[in-house]
Structures are given as C-alpha cells and as structure tokens.
Amino acid sequence: MFYSNADGLKVYSAPSSASKVIGVLSLHEKVTRAKVDHGYAYVESAETGLKGWANNAQLLWRLPATSGAVPAREGAPAQPAGGEPQAPAPPETTETTTVTEPPTTTSTVPTAPSDSGTPSPSILDSY
C-alpha cells in the first residue's frame, strides 16, 4: 500500500508524462503499486478504482505522522457529512500543573595554582 503525496497527482495511461492523463489522485489517497517502470508506478486506487501510471517519486509508503491523516480501518464509522473533521471533545476534568524551576548551582574553577606547592586538579586528568 502506498499513498499519494500530492493533491491532484496525475495518473497516465502509459509510464510517461507525454501520455494521456486518465485521472488524478487526491492527497493521501491509498493506492496499490503493482510495478515500476522508468520512474512511473502502475497504481490502482483503493477508493476510486482508478488504474494507471503515476510518478513514483510522488508516492509515500506511509503517511506522515504530523498530517493527522490516518488510513480508515475496516468497520470504522464513516466521517459525518459536511466534509470537515470534528475536533475531539475537551476533557471533562481539568488539572492544574505547577512547574517549579530546579535549583541553580554554581561551580568554581580555580584560576591559578595554589601557593601550597601542589598543582590544581585538571579536568583532563581522570585520576
């Protein structure tokens, strides 16, 4: 299964952009890809039954996670009429979250060796 990556993706009668356009695919329309020839994939739309050659570079093997589009599952309820997806209902209870800042810490780094005759510890010396 693959998905159209462009709204209005052209479907051709042969694997060439010079051939006749026989239809178009909508954005994220589910298709089955049978074979690939010279950069064109022979596809069949699961929604409309349209069969033909589409630009293989414009097919996705999975839907992007950020698009919000999820392929329909079998037996899932149909989307309500009107075309616009409905937003999920807000939660019935609200919780308040308090964010506290972590305590700040300061470190001191010696700038000069001490007068005691022993060298300052080095951050590069692991012992």
The domain that holds 37 is classified in CATH as 2.30.30.40
Asked if the structure places residue 11 within a domain, the reply is yes
pTM, to two decimals: 0.51
Domain total of the chain: 1
pLDDT (0 to 100) of residue 75: 45
Residue 96 lies in a domain: no
State the pLDDT confidence band at 73, using cuts at 50, 70 and 90: very low
Count of H-run helices and E-run strands, the chain = 0, 7
Residue 116 lies in a domain: no
In this predicted structure, what is the pLDDT of residue 32?
A: 95
Q: Is residue 70's pLDDT more than 90?
A: no
pLDDT number for residue 122: 74
Q: Is residue 80 part of a domain?
A: no
The verdict on residue 95 lying in a domain is: no
Contact (Cβ atoms closer than 8 angstroms) between residue 25 and residue 9: yes
CA atoms within 13 A on the CB side of 126: 0
Q: Residue 27 is part of which domain span?
A: 2-59
Provide the pairing of β-strand 51-55 with 21-25.
unpaired
Share the mean pLDDT of the chain. Answer: 77
Query: How confident is the model at residue 23, as a pLDDT?
Result: 95
Query: What does the pLDDT read at residue 124?
Result: 81
